[in-house]
Amino acid sequence: MALGELEREVMAQLWDAPEPLTVRQVHAGILAGRDLAYTTVMTVLDRLAKKKLVVRTTEDRAYKYAPAQSRAELTAALMFDALNGTPDQDAALAYFLGQLPPGAIQAALDATPKET
């Protein structure tokens, strides 16, 4: 399985979990009929931590991992990043189907409900 695909599945697990997970829990969740090494999951979690996408805490002498931001927060940040940008700073990051007025975008993003 491609590393990117694996990272996506690990993040999905962490986002869906109500509390921080251990490597073993993540491994068990992903395993579901697949032959995947425990150490691979550990490496993936390590990479995600380096990218500051997950935070690692120690609890009962075991490492636990939690997403740094909720899925909704990260999605909102990503969309804002795509919409943001004036030519004074950067070339447009992305090309939108409809060109939207920036004020409307900010307002719509603020209105997006954020889960906690």
Partner 1 sequence: MTALLLGALGLTLSLVVPGLLAPARWPDRAPVAAVLLWQALTLTAVLCALGVVLAAPEELTRAAGADHPWVVAALVFSLVVAATIVIRLLISLIKVSVRARARRERHRMLADLLDRAERHRELGGAEVRVLDGALPLAYCVPGREPRVVLSDAVLTILDREQVDAVLAHEQAHLRHKHELVMESFTAFYQAVPRPLRSRAPLDAVHLLLEMVADDAARRRTGPAPLRAALARLSDAVPLAEEAPADPAGESRRRRLDRLAGPAPRSTGLSALAGAAAVGLLVLPTVILIVPWLARALDAWPFRSL
Give residues with Cβ within 8 angstroms of 94, minimum separation 6: 82, 83
Ordered DSSP codes for 20-82: -B-HHHHHHHHHTT----HHHHHHHHHHHHHTTSEEEEEETTEEEEEESS-HHHHHHHHHHHH
Cβ at position 75, least distance to partner 1 in Å = 5
Q: Which is nearer to partner 1, 5 or 60 (CB)?
A: 5
The C-alpha atoms of residue 8 and residue 5 are separated, in whole angstroms, by: 5
Binding mask 40-69 for partner 1 (x = CB under 8 A): -----------x-x----------------
- Tell whether residue 91 is a contact of partner 1 (CB under 8 A): yes
The interface region with partner 1, picked from 18-26, 36-44, 58-66, 91-99 by CB under 8 A, is 91-99
**List of residues contacting partner 1 (CB under 8 A):** 4, 7-8, 11, 51, 53, 71-72, 74-76, 78-79, 81-83, 87-88, 90-105, 107-109, 111-113
